[in-house]
Amino acid sequence: MTLILGLESSCDETAAALVTGERRILAHRLAGQEAAHRPFGGVVPEIAARAHVEMLTPLVAAALDDAGIALDAVDAIAATAGPGLIGGVMVGLVTGKALALATGKPLVAVNHLEGHALSPRLADPELGFPYMLLLVSGGHCQLLFVEGVGRYRRLATTIDDAAGEAFDKTAKLLGLGFPGGPAVEQAARAGDPRAVPLPRPLIGSQEPHFSFAGLKSAVLRARDAGLHRAEDIAASFQQAVVDCLIDRTRRALAVSPRATALVVAGGVAANGAVRSALQRLAQERDIPFSAPPLWLCTDNAAMIAWAGCERYREGLIDTLDAPARARWPLDPTAEKARGAGVKA
Amino acid sequence: MLLLADPLATEAAGAALAAVLQPGDAVALHGDLGAGKTTFARGLLAALGLPGEAPSPSFAIVQAYAPPEVRIPIWHVDLYRIENPEDALEFGLDDARLDTALLIEWPERLGPPLWPDTLHLRFEPGPDDVRRLTWQAPASWEARWPPR
């Protein structure tokens, strides 16, 4: 039985988890679990590296204690090595290296995005390669064709804001409170998604990417026009995001006939409207739809331990000089998304 | 004061700044959500040569770019999520200024004003997509900003 200790500290969360190759999550611990205190309007997230430093070692001890396992029983230590806030990444990676050195176990340096990309396989034993992954969170919005462990093709990314960021900033603009995603979703339930005409950036365009910055500006204008209820703006905004996500995902599936499933991961996967629209799209394409449980969609260490497990089983271990990286694309060969100045 | 008619004009203003930007410069972008700060930053980064997308730094806080993908080393910084100015200390902005240009959104989150030689640009929304760009340019910027 493979047993992996996973560490995550690449952004706001500090976390440790123990996961087996048989998909058993023996322990998962998350610090600062005040779920209400999300970015953009919330209480201070744990951005500071020193906060990660203070929390990580006790979390590892607590996770081992929860599982009733001694540190030297693990097969490898998996730690997020990027991308993310560099101070936080270093804390987790250096902790992982120290534990690897002390125990003589191998280190697996995990890409945070790979953690998200493989997490659906931790939750769903039926999910095989290749699959189409929509990764939507506060920091990322990508379509990845997942062909196997370490084999990812990035088909699309955002050319500006991430989808979760658009939710958070819309909540802030409309004074809906925090966390932004759930606040917008709740307000949207009392609103009319057709009430406010909002743009669908890049929909139907030849380029495969996402764009949400213009949508945010349109929300600002709608608010300042004073003609609409916040609920109607929220509902119309959410519908616009759903339309964009679905249009781009449909396009990606059309060019990837080998995809055996449609999978969503990342914090925005918690949004009910996004989930049900993706489910309908999967039905339309006659492929299964898979979404990990919500706690596994947001940042956590179980997904890092699982990605570490998948890599370890393939012999993909790292040396102790593995670098911490602020930017680390999953698919370095991906065609550049056209950046500024694009009008499509 | 510059009137920026639409996002393309905002990007063009960013490109104009890119033409005169040097390592060690600090540029603060003031303005509310949706005022055009990130659009300006994207225009600047593209003009510095960035071939791909310039992701919003709101989540990662610091997006660092270096040659060869851009002409000079530059950090695109977004302090929106910083509530405790001390938390920003560990990003090492002071040290970075030794060889890197800094483009800082939400600079007021740092508390006291930035370095005295910072170029301050302020974005205010007008009707439709129009943005009003005003600035406070210290002596070191007088020959470089506003663009001629």
Residue A234 contacts residue B48 (beta carbons within 8 Å): no
Q: How confident is the model at residue A167 (pLDDT cuts 50, 70, 90)?
A: very high
CB contact under 8 A, A213 and B46: no
Q: Which structural domain range is residue B13 located in?
A: 2-116+129-135
Q: Identify whether B111 is part of a domain.
A: yes
Domain housing A201:
129-287
The reported pLDDT for the residue numbered A311 is 98
Half-sphere exposure of A42 (CA within 13 A, CB side): 20
Kindly tell me if the per-residue pLDDT of A73 is higher than 90: yes
Which residues of chain B make contact with A49, given a CB cutoff of 8 A? Answer: 90
- A191 and A210 both lie in a single domain: yes
Distance between first and last Cα of chain A: 51
Q: Which of B43, B62, B129 sits opposite A341 (nearest CB)?
A: B43
* pLDDT given at position A39: 44
How far apart, in whole angstroms, are the C-alpha atoms of residue A117 and residue A292? Answer: 11
Angle subtended at Cα A273 by Cα A270 and Cα A279, rounded to the nearest 5 degrees: 90
Position A338 scores a pLDDT of 59
Distance from CA of B80 to the nearest CA of A (A): 8
Residue B123 lies in a domain: no
Instruction: Please indicate whether, in this complex, the C-beta atoms of A339 and B46 are within 8 angstroms of each other.
Output: yes
Residue B52 belongs to a domain with what CATH number? Answer: 3.40.50.300
Q: For A340, which of B54, B64, B87 is closest by C-beta distance?
A: B54
Residues A10 and A142 in one domain: no
Q: Which residue of A has its CA nearest to B128?
A: A221
Q: Is residue B61 a part of any domain in this protein?
A: yes
Residues A148 and A268 in one domain: yes
Domain boundary residue among A240, A270, A287? A287
Residue-wise pLDDT for B9-23, tens only, equals 999 999 999 999 999
CA of A165 to nearest chain B CA: how many angstroms apart? 8
Contacts of B4 in chain A (CB under 8 A): none
Reported confidence tier of residue A38, pLDDT bands at 50, 70, 90: very low
Q: Flag whether residue B55 sits within 8 Å of chain A, measured between CB atoms.
A: yes
Q: Which of A47, A83, A221 sits opposite B82 (nearest CB)?
A: A47
Q: Do B52 and A336 touch (CB under 8 A)?
A: yes
Q: Are residues A142 and A31 in the same domain?
A: no
pLDDT score of A46:
54
pLDDT at A67 over 70: yes
Quote the pLDDT of residue A1. 86
Q: Is residue A328 part of a domain?
A: no
Q: What is the pLDDT of residues B55-85, one digit of tens each?
A: 888 888 888 899 999 999 999 999 988 877 8
On whether both A107 and A176 belong to a single domain, the answer is: no
Q: Is residue A333 a part of any domain in this protein?
A: no
**A336 pLDDT higher than 90:** no
Strand, coil or helix: what is A259? coil
Q: What is the average pLDDT value for chain B, to the nearest integer?
A: 90
B134, pLDDT greater than 90: yes
Question: Per the CB < 8 Å rule, is B42 touching A39?
Answer: no
Reply yes or no on whether the pLDDT at A35 is more than 50.
no
A103 and A135, same structural domain? Answer: no
Task: For residue B80, list chain A residues with Cβ-Cβ distance below 8 A.
Answer: 40
- Average pLDDT for chain A: 90
User: Do residues A289 and A261 touch, judged by C-beta distance below 8 A?
Assistant: yes
A257 with A309, same domain?
A: no
Q: How distant is the Cα of B98 from the closest Cα of chain A, in angstroms?
A: 19
Contact B83 A219 (CB under 8 A): no
| Tally of domains within chain B | 1
Mean pLDDT calculated for residue range A20-28: 97
Same domain, A86 and A146: no
pLDDT number for residue A47: 65
Q: Please give the model's pTM, rounded to 2 decimal places.
A: 0.88
Closest chain B residue to A215, measured at CA: B34
Instruction: Give the mean model confidence (pLDDT) for residues A96-106.
Output: 98
Asked if A143 and A197 sit in the same domain, the reply is yes
Q: Least CB-CB distance to B53: which of A11, A220, A339?
A: A339
**In this complex, how many residue pairs, one in chain A and one in chain B, have their CB atoms less than 8 Å apart?**
112
Report d(CA A159, CA A211) in Å as an integer. Answer: 6
Is position A322 within any domain? no
User: Is A343 in contact with B8 (CB distance < 8 Å)?
Assistant: yes
Residue B142 in any domain: the answer is no
Kindly tell me if the per-residue pLDDT of B50 is higher than 90.
yes
Rounded distance between C-alpha atoms, residue A79 and residue A109, angstroms: 5
Q: Highest mean pLDDT: which of A83-87, A179-183, A263-267?
A: A263-267
Nearest CA in chain A to B13: A341
Contacts of B89-92 with C-beta under 8 Å, sequence gap 24+, read B90/A48, B90/A49, B90/A50, B90/A87, B91/A87, B91/B61, B91/B62
Asked if B11 has any chain A CB less than 8 Å from its own CB, the reply is yes
- Answer whether the bond into residue B68 is a cis peptide, omega within 30°: yes
A33 and A95 fall within a common domain = yes
What's the total number of domains in chain A? 2
CATH number, position A77: 3.30.420.40
pLDDT of residue A41: 37
Mutant choice from A11, A44, A47, A154 vs B, greatest count of B C-beta within 10 A: A47
* A227-236, A291-300, A311-320: segment of lowest average pLDDT: A291-300
Q: Is A294 exposed, middle or buried (0-12, 13-18, 19+ CB in 10 A)?
A: exposed
Domain contains A95: yes
The residue to which tokens 């600079």 are assigned: B107
**pLDDT tens string A254-275:** 999 999 999 999 989 999 999 9
Residues of chain B contacting A84 with CB distance shorter than 8 Å: 60
CA distance A35 to chain B (A): 16
How many CA atoms lie less than 13 Å away from A170 in the CB half-sphere? 37
Nearest CA in chain A to B65: A327
pLDDT band at A342 (very low <50, low <70, confident <90, very high): very low
Domain shared by A273 and A137, yes or no: yes
Per the CB < 8 Å rule, is A339 touching B45? Answer: yes
Residues of chain A positioned with their CB less than 8 A from the CB of B100: none
Same domain for A104 and A160, yes or no, is no
Q: How confident is the model at residue B91 (pLDDT cuts 50, 70, 90)?
A: confident
ipTM: 0.78
Q: Is residue A182 part of a domain?
A: yes
Chain B neighbors of A39, CB-CB under 8 A: 58-59, 81
Q: How many other C-beta atoms lie within 10 A of the C-beta of residue B22?
A: 9
Contact A340 B64 (CB under 8 A): no
- pLDDT score of A227 more than 70: yes
For residue A342, being part of any structural domain is answered with no
Question: Considering the domain boundaries, does residue B89 fall inside one?
Answer: yes
